Amino acid sequence: MIHAILASTSTLHNQDYLEYLIPHLPRLYKNVSEVLFIPYARPGGISHAEYTAKAAAAFSKAGINIKGINEFDDPEKAVREAEGIFTGGGNTFLLVSELYRNKVMNVIKEVVKAGTPYMGTSAGTNIGGLSMQTTNDMPIVYPPSFQTLGLVPFNINPHYLDPNPNSEHKGETRETRIKEFHSLNSQPVIGLREGSWLEIGDNKVTLKGTLKARLFKKDQVPFEVETGTDLTDLN
Q: Where are the domains of the chain?
A: 4-225
pLDDT, one tens digit per residue, over 167-190 is 777 678 999 999 999 999 999 999
pLDDT, one tens digit per residue, over 118-162 is 999 999 999 999 999 999 999 999 999 999 999 999 999 999 998
Active-site residues, by number, are 122, 137, 159
* Cα–Cα distance, 160 to 157 (Å, whole number): 6
Q: Which pLDDT value is given to residue 206?
A: 98
Angle CA(131)–CA(140)–CA(76) in degrees, nearest 5? 60
Q: Which pLDDT value is given to residue 170?
A: 64
Distance of alpha carbon 9 from its chain centroid, rounded? 8
Of 127, 56, 115, 138, nearest in space to 89 by CA: 127
Find the helix or strand (DSSP H, E) in which 37 lies: strand 34-38
- Cα(first)–Cα(last) distance of the chain, in Å? 20
* Cα–Cα distance, 35 to 71 (Å, whole number): 13
Task: Give 76's pLDDT tier (boundaries 50, 70, 90).
Answer: very high
**pLDDT of 197 above 90:** yes
The CATH number of 4-225 is: 3.40.50.880
Residue 170, Cβ density class (10 Å: 0-12 exposed, 13-18 middle, ≥19 buried):
exposed
* Cα–Cα distance, 134 to 31 (Å, whole number): 34
Report the percentage of the chain scoring pLDDT > 70. 99
**pLDDT of 163 above 80:** no
Question: Across the chain, what does the average pLDDT equal?
Answer: 96
**pLDDT of 115 above 90:** yes
Q: Which pLDDT value is given to residue 45?
A: 83
Q: Which pLDDT value is given to residue 164?
A: 75
pLDDT, one tens digit per residue, over 10-45 is 999 999 999 999 999 999 999 999 999 999 999 988
Average the pLDDT over 198-214 and give the result.
97
Total-model pTM: 0.96
